[in-house]
A and B are shown apart, each in its own frame.
Chain A
Amino acid sequence: MARRTPDEHPDPFRIVGRPLPRFDVADKVQGTTLYAADWRLPGMLAGRILRAVYPSARIRRISVEHARGLPGVAAVLTADDVPQNALHEDPTGLGLSSFATPVLAADRVRYQGEPVALVAAESEVAAQAALEAIEVEYEPLPGVFDAGAALAPDAPRVHPDRVNLLIHWKLRQGDVEAGFRRSDAVVERTYRTQRVDHAALEPEAAVAWVDGDGVVTIRAATQVIEHFREIAEILRLPHNKVRVMAPFLGGGFGGKEDMTVEPYVALLAWKTRRPVRMLWTRQESLLARPKRHPFTMSYKTGATRDGRLVAQEISLLADAGPYPLLSPRVVFAALVVGCGPYRVPNVKIDARAVFTNNVPTSAMRGFGAMQVTFAYESQMDLLAEQLGMSALEIRSRNFLQKGDRLPTGEALETEAALPHITARAVDALGERSRPSAPSGRVGRGIACNMQPYGRTVWFRDRAQAWIGFEADGALVIRAGITDLGGGQAASLAQLAAEVLGVSPDRIAVHIGDSALTPLAGGTFATRQLYMSGNAVVKAAGELRAMMIPVAASLLEAAEPDVQFADNHAGVIGAPERTIALARVVAECARRGIPTSLLSGFQGEHAAPIDLETGQGRTFPDYTFGCHAVEVEVDAETGTVRVLKLAACHDVGRAINPQSVEGQIQGGAVMGAGQALMEEVAVEAGINLTTLFAGYLIPTAMDMPDVRALVVESGEGKGPFSARGIGEPPTGPPPAAVAAAIQDAVGVRLMELPMTPERVFDAVRARPARPKNEARGKV
């Protein structure tokens, strides 16, 4: 349930703000939802990918004749068979790191698991046999497997025609050197985060076919149906000859933001003219699908004696793997929020992503902003420790407020209710738990964060929605969004219900079809509620405005007195004077007034930042939060158990409080998993974590109940002042857990995940603990 700030006025809404059950969940509990892999067509082939075994090698020869001749094999494709074997990308939108990524490796492979050849066959077993029959002769080449080493002048080049530095963003504000001279305390540390897999429980999957009209149609587990354009270019087809449909997803978290199966399954369907299904196994998903970037983050932070931040100098280095994907943008987000939700007058940040021959990295929930939270929050605690303050005190002295200038020079335009958020989270921990065993040590920590929502403003983001009444008064919403499981579709229904007075059970939402639903721009960057929510509210408002006069004349009332509620048009204050919306619709039809319309929402836009200083407009807005955790550390083994986790975020307005809480709970547990358990280990380019048994996402026994605390400041740039909440909750747990571990056993970990072994080693290496009561205490 939403818990409002005490000062807030009573809820003016009928539908918005209510914990309505989601229509998609009702289908999901019955097992009727048809996910991408559940789709079947007659004569469907099984598609598979042959993947590189070496992280860096020349392909001397590929021989496919034998495989082509096997029974049941319909096609074997290599790079030569791809009409345009290049995916042209400009991830920054500024031409800074434009790139042509091969669809299938032609003469070089640059990471283990890179697609080399494709097979379509009558059955999965026959496809597997064909894969095994393809002969590839490799010549292993030296590779570069460490982001730092990649920058050395004599490092092997991942791409012969360009240096390994993929992107270098800079941010300069004030004078950090002068700032450090003025500081009474300076903390300098380096933090490391690990490679993380999205581990959506649904592996990547699609079915593709060439439809009767010659349109290549792909029903895929994707967050972004707009990829139809790239697929068309690969096939050298006009954009309007490729259609992507996205059914409900079994989780995305950014892992289905880049294309996964789509180009491959499309190629096979295009070549064979038969339906093809491609399912990635969990193991190939772990092997080769892009991960969350490992970051190395060097922070130098200075503050005055009274705890005011003066200067921060930051160097961020991300391992991008061999292709750009979304790395430049991930690192940009990290740059913008590198200082966290604090006022820092003097800032210098260098954020780099480099090419390596490791598994590619790209978008994942939290998108760069997540990694830096671990660093800047740890710095705050260490500064507090040096200055003899509490974690709370030092934060309170520096919290951003509305109107403050961010390090990018732009002003924060909405409320940042951080003191309130933080107090809520801390209070929710309640009484300190007792250790469960003699070797148990209980500790607490907090961490705050800020996460952008919406795309960078120079992308001029747009989303559209098409809303219309049926003759019976039922409503249809068409929007090209994808639903990852976060209730994206249901929330659009809830918004339209509010504006048009249609009950949610009378609303059908059609999503995710690039041919039939107006494009909405992909579900990522916590943008969908902000963008499509606004688009739906706008479309619904316009529709309402067209229908109100008709209703008014039917009701013989003045237009301002007419309201739409409970599937009826009525007169405010006269409950007996109502007519069914269906009657209004019929009357509109008689008068030739449309009852359906397409509208669009244009996100905030501005010119690009200054590339030398990072000054300018960046993201539309931010969501702020604070998590408080209590852990028990087993001092003899280093095992850390999270006992309590309270996660508080200001969501502006909770459209559906139950869904908002669900996002917070799930995000917090994902963040806690990254804090303690998860890691894709890669050694010399070889992925050592290709089994699900070895990639440790938390089970129900590993995490406590999450107390989700929802603050509604009434400020945000989404519909009804909502802020995005999809990504923010993953950010704080690592730093909060690190603080709690320090509180418990006196050691600060600066590398994720904080495994039992790392904690154990740190405890063993710890010098005698100085007594300092204020340190880390919450």
Chain B
Amino acid sequence: METAAAEGAARAGVRFVLNGSPVDVWAAPHETLLAVLRDTLGATEVKYGCGEGVCGTCTVLLDGAPINACLLLAVQAAGRAVTTVKGLGAEGHLHPLQRAFVAHEAAQCGFCTPGMLLVAHAFLADHPRPTRDEIRSAIAGNLCRCTGYTRIVDAIEACAGTGKAARVEPR
């Protein structure tokens, strides 16, 4: 049982870009990107929900494409750009999708929300004018237990270039 020793011994420096800024971390090969983001870098906006690639709460964008952070080794992120939901909008300045999620109450517990926003963002970049069915298909891999999805689809639809403005109510 030299696990603890092995853990320390094989750590390697990994450099990647997180939300636009370069980061350098020490990561052991067996650490997933999810573990390093959450435990080492404090990027707790990326969630753990299953570790099987099923739930989508760990979604990040890797060079712009949505992937499972739970199914990528941190060392495999070297030299690449990782985007979490914090890379979507700027501090205090929400991305239109985030605004639409608030306006439509497309989040309840919010645990699926960071992943959902990232998938929606990547999807809209390729499909500026999607149908509701296309939106449903795009987010099908990201589970939500609270909303039943209707409002998530509403919010994404409101953001797509369909000309429909997001429902905005003053707070």
Q: Which residues of A contact B (CB under 8 A)?
A: 18-35, 37-38, 40, 70-72, 122-126, 128-129, 133, 198-203, 248-253, 279, 281-283, 484-487, 503-505, 658-659, 661-662, 665-670, 691-693, 697, 699-701, 703, 705-706, 708
Contact = CB atoms under 8 A, between A and B. Distances in A.
Contact of B169 (A20, A29, A486, A667): A20
A248 B143 CA distance: 19
B152 A662 contact: no
Nearest to A695: B54
Interface in B103-148: 103-114, 117, 132, 135-137, 139-148
Nearest to A46: B39
A700 B105 contact: no
Given A23-B171, A662-B105, 14 more contacts: A20-B171, A28-B107, A28-B109, A30-B98, A35-B47, A37-B44, A38-B44, A71-B5, A133-B1, A251-B109, A485-B108, A665-B151, A670-B145, A700-B152
Contacts of A699: 140-141, 143
A125 B110 CA distance: 29
Contact of B89 (A30, A198, A658, A697): A30
A126 B145 contact: no
A31 B5 contact: no
Given A21-B105, A125-B7, A31 B84 contact: yes
24 contacts: A19-B105, A21-B105, A22-B102, A23-B171, A25-B105, A26-B171, A29-B98, A29-B101, A30-B89, A34-B44, A70-B4, A126-B3, A128-B3, A133-B1, A249-B109, A251-B111, A279-B48, A282-B49, A504-B171, A658-B104, A665-B150, A666-B148, A669-B149, A701-B140
Nearest to B56: A201
Nearest to B167: A19
Nearest to A253: B145
Nearest to B5: A71
A281 B7 CA distance: 21
Given A203-B49, A662-B105, A693-B54, A28 B153 contact: no
Contacts of B49: 201-203, 282, 692
B4 A122 contact: yes
A282 B52 contact: yes
Nearest to A668: B148
Interface residues of B, number: 64
Nearest to B44: A38
B107 A18 contact: no
A698 B128 CA distance: 26
Interface centre among B30, B85, B104, B150 (most CB of A within 10 A): B150
B12 interface: no
Contact of A692 (B50, B110, B150): B50
Contacts of A124: 35
Interface centre among A19, A125, A659 (most CB of B within 10 A): A125
Contact of A30 (B1, B35, B94, B104): B94
A198 B112 CA distance: 15
Contact of B1 (A26, A129, A201, A503): A129
Interface in B31-89: 35, 38-39, 42, 44-52, 54-55, 57, 84-86, 89
A684 B97 CA distance: 48
Contact of A666 (B103, B110, B146): B146
B2 to A, nearest CB: 8
B4 A697 contact: no
Nearest to B168: A21
- List the 6 closest A-B pairs by CB distance, nearest first: A485-B109, A31-B45, A28-B110, A250-B111, A669-B148, A38-B44
Nearest to B147: A666
Contact of B117 (A29, A202, A251): A29
Nearest to A705: B150
Given A20-B171, A251-B146, A665-B148, A201 B109 contact: yes
A201 B30 contact: no
Interface string B14-37: 000000000000000010000100
A258 to B, nearest CB: 18
Contact of A126 (B7, B106, B169): B7
Contact of A202 (B111, B140, B142): B111
Contacts of B104: 658
Contacts of A484: 109
Given A18-B169, A20-B171, A701-B137, A25 B148 contact: no
A527 B107 CA distance: 22
Given A30-B98, A31-B114, A125-B7, A19 B169 contact: yes
B106 to A, nearest CB: 8
A129 B4 contact: yes
Given A20-B171, A40-B42, A658-B105, A281 B51 contact: yes
Chief secondary structure at chain A's binding surface: loop
Contact of B4 (A25, A123, A669): A123
Interface centre among B38, B50, B106 (most CB of A within 10 A): B50
B52 A692 contact: yes
Contact of A29 (B1, B54, B85, B140): B85
A109 to B, nearest CB: 25
Nearest to B35: A124
A37 B4 CA distance: 23
A706 B149 CA distance: 9
Contacts of A697: 143, 145
B5 A29 contact: no
A693 B52 contact: yes
A162 to B, nearest CB: 36
Contacts of A250: 47, 109-111
Contacts of B50: 282, 692
B1 A25 contact: no
Contacts of A659: 105
B86 A31 contact: yes
A485 B1 contact: no
Contacts of A658: 104-105
Contacts of A700: 135-137, 139-140, 142, 144, 149, 152-153
A89 B111 CA distance: 32
Contacts of B86: 30-31
A668 B47 CA distance: 25
A237 B26 CA distance: 41
Contacts of A18: 169
A486 B147 CA distance: 10
A299 B103 CA distance: 46
Contacts of A670: 145, 148
B121 to A, nearest CB: 12
A199 B145 contact: yes
A668 B151 CA distance: 13
A707 B112 CA distance: 22
A40 B112 CA distance: 21
Contacts of B149: 669, 700, 703
Contacts of B35: 124
Contacts of B137: 700-701
A123 B143 CA distance: 29
A496 B50 CA distance: 39
Contacts of B150: 665, 705-706, 708
A24 B104 CA distance: 13
B153 A705 contact: yes
B132 to A, nearest CB: 7
Contact of A662 (B55, B94, B103, B147): B147
Contacts of A129: 1, 3-4
Interface centre among A34, A282, A666 (most CB of B within 10 A): A666
Given A21-B102, A31-B86, A705 B4 contact: no
B39 to A, nearest CB: 8
A128 B51 CA distance: 16
Given A251-B109, A699-B143, A72 B4 contact: yes
Contacts of A706: 148, 150
Given A199-B145, A665-B147, A71 B45 contact: no
B57 A201 contact: yes
Nearest to B105: A658
Contacts of A201: 47, 49, 55, 57, 109, 111-112, 143-145
